[in-house]
Amino acid sequence: MSRGWVGCLTVLAFVGFANTAQATVVFSGTSSSGLSASASFTISGTQLTILLTNTDVATGSGYPDVSSEVLTGLFFNLGTSTFTPVSASVYTGSPNGVIQQGSIIQTENCDATSCAGKTNIGGEWSYAQGGASWLSGTTQGISSSGYLNGNTNSGNFNGPNYQDPNALNGIEFGLVPNGWVAGSGNGGLDGNALIEGTVRFVLTIPAGLQESSISNVYFTYGTSPGENTVPGTTATPTTSGGPTTGSVPEPAMLSMLGLALAGAAFRMRKPGSKTN
């Protein structure tokens, strides 16, 4: 095969894989009091996926034991467009080789609809865009508590309301760290269903947004914005289209690669053609 064909096939293969690569950027934050959280952002076309995790270290003494130590919100800047919330779910998996897991705990506090063993928590969390009373420089917000401006008593990630009063009211379905002992908090925590570990949010966003544009990330705790706020910093620098796991070429690129291979084979079979 001629050097020209080899170069052509190499370029096609590279383009096919590079065009579909997805990047994930992870922000993490830790406060002086020991509160810590992480959020990973992955954009694929017009879909934004966020994994939000309470990364505190639970202790045998019951920490966290008050609502101000429960993770209830994520705020960030990613343009001024309004996103469309699709789903929110308790998450178990190992993205990038890091094991993350979540579950609904203290399920005896759920009301008419049992939440035991459920994963869809879309009715207990909400998304909103913009707001003058928000943290400085943020344009997008996700929360399980009532301080999310413009979404009082209304979860909008397309799921049921498990615990009355309606979503975004109090500490219900906030995140505690993995290993937290159910029933070890104060009365305000013990009387609510909570989520242990990680939640996965999916939103539809305008085309063209990139992970590298995300800034001003904040993790918020408790039932009001002023209780505890932890800024997030980039833990894994990346740019959109960067290294990923399991990226595959698009069908169009596969077709182009197939045509190139077919042409190369025909050229080699053609009488008198050179093969080196």
How do residues 163-199 score in pLDDT, each as one tens digit? 877 777 788 999 998 888 787 777 778 899 999 889 9
pLDDT digits (tens, 9 = 90+) for 80-108: 999 999 999 998 776 655 566 778 999 99
Asked whether the whole model's pTM tops 0.75, one would answer yes
DSSP 8-state secondary structure symbol assigned to residue 44: E
Q: List b or e across 89-106, with b for residues whose CB sees 16 or more CB atoms inside 10 angstroms.
A: bbbeeebeeeebebbbbb
Structure tokens at 269: 């079979």
Domain boundaries, the chain: 1-20+248-276, 25-246
Give the count of beta carbons closer than 10 Å to the beta carbon of residue 241: 16
The rounded distance, in Å, linking the Cα atoms of 131 and 149 is 6
Which ranges of the chain would DSSP assign to H, the alpha helix?
3-18, 187-190, 251-269
